[in-house]
Structure 1
Amino acid sequence: MQPETIDSEGPYRLLYCSSKGDKAGVVQELEKGVEPNLADYDKRTALHLASCEGCTEIVVLLLEKGADVNSVDRWGRTPLSDARSFGHEKICKILEVNGGTDPVGLDSLSPGYEIDQSEVDMTEAILIGEGSFGEIYLVKWRGTEVAAKTIRSSIASNPMVKNTFLKELALWKKLRHPNIVQFLGVINKPDRLIFLTEYLRNGSLHDILRKKGRLDPQTAVAYALDIARGMNYLHQHKPHAIIHRDLTPRNVLQDEAGRLKVTDFGLSKIAQEKDVLGYKMTGRTGSYRYMAPEVYRRESYGKSVDVFSFALIVHEMFQGGPSNMAEDGEQIADRRAYEDSRPHLSSYLYPEPIKTLLQRCWHKSPDCRPAFDEIILQLEAIQDKFQNKESMGSCCNCAIL
C-alpha cells in the first residue's frame, strides 16, 4: 500500500520552510541542492506556498534562484493565482513583473468557489465512507476523481447542522498546505449540501496500520512529521488558530507519493484570541480513544488537545495499532482523565527520544505539552539520527538513539 520507507528529504522540507517564511531554512535546503521547482504530489511548489502565505521575502528569493513563476499545480493554479486568492497585492506585483500569469482568472479570487451541480454526476457516485453528517462519495469532476462529502438530506433543513457544515467549508477553503487535504469547492443543491475535496486513494492511516501493523521507525517518524507539519499549519493559522479537535488515524489520509495529509475539520473550532479561558466541549465530541483528559472532563481547552491526540497516533505507528482494543473507548478516556492512565512505552519498540517526546505530548497538564513547531524540530533531529546510522533499520537497535 505504501513503501517501507519514505525518502524523507524530497521537496517537503523546502515546502515547509517556504510556507512558514523561514528564509534560513529555505537557503539551507537550496544549498543542499534541492531544486527550487520540486513539488509535492499535487504539483505545488515552494513558490505556490510562499505566495499564498504572503511570504514576500521567500517569493523574491525563490525567483532569484530560478523558481518557475508559472508552475501549475494539480488544480491548474499558479503562484499568482494563490497570491490573488489571499489578497497579497505586493506579491502579485512581484510575480507579474517576473512574467506571472493567472490561468484560473476570477476563480482565484474565491478559493472555495461554488461548483455548478451539472459538473458532478452524483448518480454515478461510489460510496467510500461516512462522515459526521453524511456520506462520502468518489465522483469525477472535470475529469479528475475527487471526494464528495455530503450532508444528509434528512437533516439538511436543520439550521444548526447546516450552519456547522457551512462553517466547516468557510474554514477549509482558506487552507493551502502539502499536509492538509485540499478543498475544491461546494455544490449547493436544493435538497442537500455537498463539497468536494481531493481524493486520496491510499486511504487512511487507520487502514495502513490495520493492513501493515507496526511501521519501521524511520517511516513512523516521517509520517509523524507529515502530521505535525499539517497540524502546525492549522495551529499557526492567521488571524486565529484552528483547533482540529478530532485528530485520529481515520482523519489522516495518504497520497500516492506516500505522504500523509490531515483532513475532516467537521469538529474544528477557530480559537478566538479574546476567549482567554478557551472553549468548552462536551465529552462526547470527538473520538474517545484519542480524547485529551480535559475534554473528557468538560473543562476549558486549547490547542494542546491536538498534541495529546497526536501522541496517541504516533504511539500506534510504533506499536502497530491502539492499545487495549478490547476495552471500550469511553472507559479508556475515563481512566486517562481521572487516573492519569497512559499507554505503555516499551524500550524495545520506542527509541528513547520518542518515549520522552510522547510523555511530554500526553502530559496531564496541557501547559506542559509542547507546541507543534517544537515537536517538528525534535522529530527532525530524530530523523537525522536515523539517516546517519544504517544500523537503525531494526527495532532492536532503536534504543541506542
Structure 2
Amino acid sequence: MENFKYPSSPPSKRMRGAETIDSEGPYRLLYCSSKGDTDGVVQELEKGVEPNLADYDKRTALHLASCEGCTEVVVLLLEKGADVNSIDRWGRTPLSDARSFGHESICKILEANGGIDPVGLDSQIPCYTIDYSEVNMNDAILIGEGSYGEIYLVKWRGTEVAAKTIRSSIASNQRVKNSFMKELALWQKLRHPNIVQFLGVLNNCNRLIFLTEYLCNGSLHDILRKKGRLDPQTAVAYALDIARGMNYLHQHKSHAIIHRDLTPRNVLQDAAGRLKVTDFGLSKIAQEKDVLGYKMTGTTGSFRYMAPEVYRRESYGKSVDVFSFALIVHEMFQGGPSNLADDPEQVADKRAYEDSRPPLSSYVYPEPIRILLQKCWHKNPDFRPTFEDIILELESIQDKFQTTEPMPSRCRCSIL
C-alpha cells in the first residue's frame, strides 16, 4: 500500500521537504507497526498512544501491519482494542490490505475477529496482461516523460498505443509494484469518453510497463504552450471535458477515485479534440522508500496545482481535485500559469498559508467564470462545489456564449 514518513507533529508554516521520524512522537506507533517491531508497538501503547491512531489518510497501525504481513503486531493490536474494520481514505479495511498482498494467515485472523472487506473484488481482480512478444519495445519512440517514468509510442496488434514505463526505483519494490497493479486493475474497469482507456500490462519483462490508448494531440500543457490563451468558448468546452471525466471518477462505486495529481500534463487530447483525464489513482502509491521509513504523500502531485490542505498534510477529500481543476481553467483563459517564474513549492506554500490565489482580471475572465473559480479554489474545502455542480454551471455558461456568438468547431480548436 501507500508509503509514508510519519511526522511527530504538524508541519511548520515554512516547512521544506519531508520530515524526519521522531522516535518519541505518537506516530511512532504507525512506523513500528509497519516494520513489525512488536517491542516498539508495546512501548507506544504503554505510553498511552491510542491503538486506533491514524495518519492523515486515515490509515491505522492495523492497516500497516496487515499490508506488511506483520502477524504478531496484528494479533497484538487486536488484543489492545484496535478497530478491525477501520476504513482508510480509499474505503479499505485492514482485511482489504491483507488480501491485496496475499497474507492469508492475517486474513484468517482478521476474519475471526469480525473483519470485512468492503472493496471486495477490487482487492483481488488481476490486471489484464499482454504478452511481451506482442509489443516490440526496441522500435518504441520516446514521446515524453510522465510522473512515474518514460512514455513511448508503440504498436500493439496493428494499433498505435502509449507504453508507460515505471521507474525502476518503484518497479523493483515488490510491495509498491503490487500497489500499482491493484490500481491498474481498478483502472481497467473504467469506461468514459473523458477518461484515457487502460489496455493492459506487459508480462514476462524486467520492467513494469502498461499500455493505454494513444492520444495524438498531446497534453493540455502542450496545447497551451503552443497556442497560448484559448478563446472563452474553447476554454469552457475543454473545462467541461475535464469536469465530466473527473465527475465520473468521483462518483465511482464503491468508493470515489481521487486523482490527487490533476495537472495540464495529465489531461490529453484525442484526434477529435476531446480532452481525457489520465494517470488518476496512481499518485498515492508512487512514493519511494527512504532509509528512515516512509515518505508522506503530502508532496504527492505537482506543487503548482496542489490544494492547500494537501500541502499542509491535513485530511482531505475529493475537493482537492476541484482546487486543481480551477487552476487549470485559469490557465486556459490566461494561456499559462500566472506565476511561472516562481518556485512551485513557494507558490503552494503561499496558497496554503497566505490564501494566495491567481489574479482574475475582468478583461480576461468573464464574470461567471470568475465566480466559479473563486468557488472552486475556496480555502475551505467544504465550500468548494462538486464536479456535478461544476458541470451544470459550465453548461449554463456555454449556453450563454452560444447565444452571443457561434461556438467554434472543436476540431478547429484542437489543431496544434
Task: Report the TM-score range of the alignment, normalised by the length of the smaller protein.
Answer: 0.5 to 0.7
Q: Say yes or no: does 1:252 pair with 2:267.
A: yes
SS at match of 1:146: strand
| Aligned equivalent of 2:162 | 147
- 8 Å CA contact 2:283–2:300 kept in 1: the answer is no
- 8 Å CA contact 2:224–2:332 kept in 1: the answer is yes
Q: 1:371 to 1:151 in 2, by over 3 A?
A: same
Q: 1:291 to 1:266 in 2, by over 3 A?
A: same
Question: What is the alpha-carbon distance in structure 1 between the residues aligned to residue 147 and residue 214 of structure 2?
Answer: 18
Structure with max Cα Rg: 2
Q: Say yes or no: does 1:197 pair with 2:205.
A: no
Superposed displacement of residue 112, structure 1: 5.0
Q: Say yes or no: does 1:122 pair with 2:137.
A: yes
Q: 1:112 to 1:166 in 2, by over 3 A?
A: closer
Q: Say yes or no: does 1:303 pair with 2:301.
A: no
- 8 Å CA contact 1:168–1:268 kept in 2: the answer is no
Identity of aligned residues (%): 84
RMSD: 2.0
Mapping 1:14-33, distance limit 5 Å: none
SS at match of 1:127: strand
Aligned match for 2:339, one of 319, 324, 331: 324
SS at match of 1:201: coil
Residue identity opposite 1:291 in structure 2:
M
SS at match of 2:265: helix
| Aligned equivalent of 2:392 | 377
| Aligned equivalent of 1:157 | 172
| Aligned equivalent of 2:222 | 207
Question: What is the alpha-carbon distance in structure 2 between the residues aligned to residue 364 and residue 122 of structure 1?
Answer: 46
Residue identity opposite 1:251 in structure 2:
N
Question: What is the alpha-carbon distance in structure 2 between the residues aligned to residue 134 and residue 309 of structure 1?
Answer: 22
| Aligned equivalent of 1:49 | none
Aligned match for 2:258, one of 229, 243, 266: 243
| Aligned equivalent of 2:188 | 173
- 8 Å CA contact 2:283–2:301 kept in 1: the answer is no
| Aligned equivalent of 1:261 | 276
SS at match of 2:133: helix
| Aligned equivalent of 2:353 | 338
Mapping 1:95-106, distance limit 5 Å: none
SS at match of 1:202: coil
- 8 Å CA contact 1:243–1:269 kept in 2: the answer is no
Deviations 1:276-303 (A, max 9, x none): xxxx963321100000000000000000
Question: What is the alpha-carbon distance in structure 2 between the residues aligned to residue 310 and residue 286 of structure 1?
Answer: 13
SS at match of 2:349: helix
| Aligned equivalent of 1:221 | 236
Question: What is the alpha-carbon distance in structure 1 between the residues aligned to residue 356 and residue 269 of structure 2?
Answer: 30
- 8 Å CA contact 2:132–2:205 kept in 1: the answer is no
- 8 Å CA contact 2:148–2:167 kept in 1: the answer is yes
SS at match of 1:241: coil
Deviations 1:52-108 (A, max 9, x none): xxxxxxxxxxxxxxxxxxxxxxxxxxxxxxxxxxxxxxxxxxxxxxxxxxxxxxxxx
Question: What is the alpha-carbon distance in structure 2 between the residues aligned to residue 321 and residue 307 of structure 1?
Answer: 18
Question: What is the alpha-carbon distance in structure 2 between the residues aligned to residue 175 and residue 220 of structure 1?
Answer: 26
Deviations 1:188-207 (A, max 9, x none): 22412211100001000000
Aligned match for 1:358, one of 373, 376, 380: 373
Superposed displacement of residue 135, structure 1: 1.4
- 8 Å CA contact 1:115–1:187 kept in 2: the answer is yes
Question: What is the alpha-carbon distance in structure 2 between the residues aligned to residue 127 and residue 391 of structure 1?
Answer: 39
- 8 Å CA contact 2:200–2:211 kept in 1: the answer is yes
- 8 Å CA contact 2:215–2:271 kept in 1: the answer is yes
Question: What is the alpha-carbon distance in structure 2 between the residues aligned to residue 189 and residue 137 of structure 1?
Answer: 18
Q: 1:153 to 1:290 in 2, by over 3 A?
A: closer
Q: For structure 2, which runs of at least 5 residues remain unmatched after alignment?
A: 1-124, 286-294, 409-416
- 8 Å CA contact 2:264–2:328 kept in 1: the answer is yes
Question: What is the alpha-carbon distance in structure 2 between the residues aligned to residue 216 and residue 322 of structure 1?
Answer: 16
Residue identity opposite 1:216 in structure 2:
D
Question: What is the alpha-carbon distance in structure 2 between the residues aligned to residue 360 and residue 339 of structure 1?
Answer: 17
| Aligned equivalent of 2:203 | 188
| Aligned equivalent of 1:131 | 146
- 8 Å CA contact 1:282–1:296 kept in 2: the answer is no
- Structure-2-length-normalised TM-score: 0.63
Q: Say yes or no: does 1:113 pair with 2:132.
A: no
Question: What is the alpha-carbon distance in structure 2 between the residues aligned to residue 381 and residue 156 of structure 1?
Answer: 45
- 8 Å CA contact 1:242–1:268 kept in 2: the answer is no
Higher RCO (Cα < 8 Å, 6 or more apart): 2
| Aligned equivalent of 2:245 | 230
Question: What is the alpha-carbon distance in structure 1 between the residues aligned to residue 170 and residue 251 of structure 2?
Answer: 33
Superposed displacement of residue 167, structure 1: 2.6
Q: 1:392 to 1:185 in 2, by over 3 A?
A: closer
Question: What is the alpha-carbon distance in structure 2 between the residues aligned to residue 357 and residue 113 of structure 1?
Answer: 40
- Structure-1-length-normalised TM-score: 0.66
- 8 Å CA contact 1:253–1:263 kept in 2: the answer is yes
- 8 Å CA contact 2:180–2:282 kept in 1: the answer is no
Q: 1:140 to 1:298 in 2, by over 3 A?
A: same
Q: 1:112 to 1:158 in 2, by over 3 A?
A: closer
